[in-house]
Structure 1
Amino acid sequence: MSKLHNTFQVPRISDAVASALERRILEGSLKPGDRLPPERELAIELGVSRPSLREAIQKLASKGLVQSRQGGGTYVTDRLESTFLDTWQEMMGMHPNLREDLLEFRHMLEGQAAEWAAERATDADLTRLTQAFDAMNLASDADDLKRQSSTDIAFHQAIGEATHNIVIGHLSAALLRLMHDNIHLNLKELKTIPSASSALKSQHAAIHDAICEHKPADARAAAETHIDFVRESLAQSLRSASRRETAERRLQNDSSKTFAS
């Protein structure tokens, strides 16, 4: 009677290490642009030899998830979002009306994200969310558009990550990076609307508080109310801008006729 041979293979240490690091990238513990800890420190943290760690990092590099940079260091790439970004960034530039579609998608995504964040956020998630919320309020008080847009993105990204849904976390990151210039433009246009700044502050506070109090329905409603306000306010701002441009063209035309006569 023939002997049965065990066909199961013991996983290589480097595969296990690569999987652990890949998980950190997927969950957002390691973000695009982050530098991996020094080899010696990371090997000690993971409890493996430096040769095994190097082999694991080479596996991630072959997937395009990390890369070495001149001057030393290994960094996380943006491969998980880059294909999405490259295509849509160009489309946004060519078709400005896509901004409305983007806001409509944000309404769906961020409502769900806020609901799940309220259900699933840990104490650490809530600490990060509150830190992002406080930074956003400070930026608003400083009247700095660039800082306002970056802190706005950080706040909404903290919500996406608090869902503990890896796909939502990365989709939110890609979408928010795509929207960086768009958010800056949105905030600039919203500044032309009286009381918009205070309204935005109140809306963000409502989202923050509902998540921290673990009230999913309230969190979804607050997030959807926020996006609805942005959509309507931007539409109002764009209508006003269009009217101003039309009036200015008429004035210029009248002036040229007067000068000609």
Structure 2
Amino acid sequence: MSSRAPLPQMAAIATNERATPSLVYRALLQGIREGSMVPGAKLPNERDLAQQLGTGRTAVRSALAMMERQGLVRRQVGSGTYLTDDADQVFGRMDETGAPSHDEVPSLAEIAEGRLLFEPAMMHLVVSRVQDGEIVEMRRSLDQILEAPTWVEFKERIYGLHRQIFASTKNKFLMQIMGSILDDRRAVLFDGQDNGKPAPEPVRRQTFNDLKAIVDAIAQRNGAHAEKLVSDHLMRTLATINIWQ
């Protein structure tokens, strides 16, 4: 356990709305990136963090739980919550693509925000209707994500897997929604730069690991776990959009 001093005061989240776990997660990531949150350091308790960030303890608790599942914090019973020693390495595994607003189609932030409203709960429908052969195809798609030769193809294969998951609901309305999402992302070339170059290996590996966990939960017919994993995945996506700007 680290003996480093607790962290300095953190700035409140700049929003007039009650902060969501995604915003709290984003604020904590920014603290790591800016150096005010040092790997190995002890975090303030949930009450103090909530006061510093200007939000409720529920949002803080959810964000810390998400960070723990991601391996960014560890909890020591009777002592507190600590950043892991390699917490600052998380940025090398993140997709640094910007996500600007668009006049003709929804932005990635709008899409992620909308998906969060229904997609985690949709996983209960997925696990009740998915067929074994569909899970086999999902695993093939996972392997293709790792092997994608270019950044655009990397994105295409990610969304291809999502379409398979939506299709396993056997619900045409949900399938139509994902088809529209993919059309909108293709229309702006996934907001990418240097689209002909391969995605960085750490980014591909982290994406593979995140999505493999979801597919594994589907294969186990564990709707509650799949719901949590999808919620985490979408909240992290929303939290990290334009975080480098």
Structure having the higher helix fraction is 1
Task: Quote the Cα distance in structure 2 between the aligned partners of 1:105 and 1:199.
Answer: 23
- Report how many residues are paired: 143
Q: TM-score, normalised by structure 1?
A: 0.47
Contact 2:127–2:221 (CA under 8 A) maintained in structure 1:
yes
Contact 1:149–1:183 (CA under 8 A) maintained in structure 2:
no
Task: Quote the Cα distance in structure 1 between the aligned partners of 2:172 and 2:108.
Answer: 25
User: Equivalent of 2:141, from 115, 132, 139?
Assistant: 132
Q: TM-score, normalised by structure 2?
A: 0.50
**Which amino acid in 2 is paired with 1:147?**
E
- Structure 1 range deviating more: 150-159 or 170-179: 170-179
- State the structure with bigger RCO (CA 8 A, min sep 6), 1 or 2: 2
1:171 has 2:180 as partner: no
CA deviation after TM superposition for structure 1 residue 137, in Å: 2.2
User: Equivalent of 2:114, from 98, 105, 118?
Assistant: 105
Where does the alignment leave 5 or more consecutive residues of structure 2 unmatched?
1-100
Deviations 1:20-54 (A, max 9, x none): xxxxxxxxxxxxxxxxxxxxxxxxxxxxxxxxxxx
User: Equivalent of 2:237, from 230, 241, 245?
Assistant: 230
CA deviation after TM superposition for structure 1 residue 199, in Å: 2.8
Task: Quote the Cα distance in structure 1 between the aligned partners of 2:165 and 2:144.
Answer: 14
User: Equivalent of 1:221, from 214, 228, 235?
Assistant: 228
Contact 2:146–2:204 (CA under 8 A) maintained in structure 1:
no
Structure 1 segment 177-196 matched on structure 2, within 5 A = 177-181=183-187, 184-185=190-191, 196=203
Task: Quote the Cα distance in structure 2 between the aligned partners of 1:113 and 1:183.
Answer: 27
User: Equivalent of 2:209, from 179, 202, 206?
Assistant: 202
CA deviation after TM superposition for structure 1 residue 93, in Å: 3.0
User: Equivalent of 1:150, from 140, 156, 172?
Assistant: 156
Task: Quote the Cα distance in structure 2 between the aligned partners of 1:131 and 1:170.
Answer: 23
CA deviation after TM superposition for structure 1 residue 117, in Å: 1.3
Q: Which residue of 1 aligns with 2:166?
A: 160
**Residues 202 and 128 of structure 1: CA distance in aligned 2, closer, same or farther (over 3 Å):** same
**Which amino acid in 2 is paired with 1:205?**
K
Bigger Rg over Cα: 1
**Which amino acid in 1 is paired with 2:206?**
A
Q: 3-state SS of the aligned residue for 1:93? A: coil
Q: What percentage of residue pairs aligned between the two structures are identical?
A: 14
**Residues 154 and 116 of structure 1: CA distance in aligned 2, closer, same or farther (over 3 Å):** same
Contact 2:146–2:205 (CA under 8 A) maintained in structure 1:
no
1:116 has 2:164 as partner: no
Task: Quote the Cα distance in structure 1 between the aligned partners of 2:242 and 2:102.
Answer: 18
Q: Which residue of 2 aligns with 1:68?
A: none
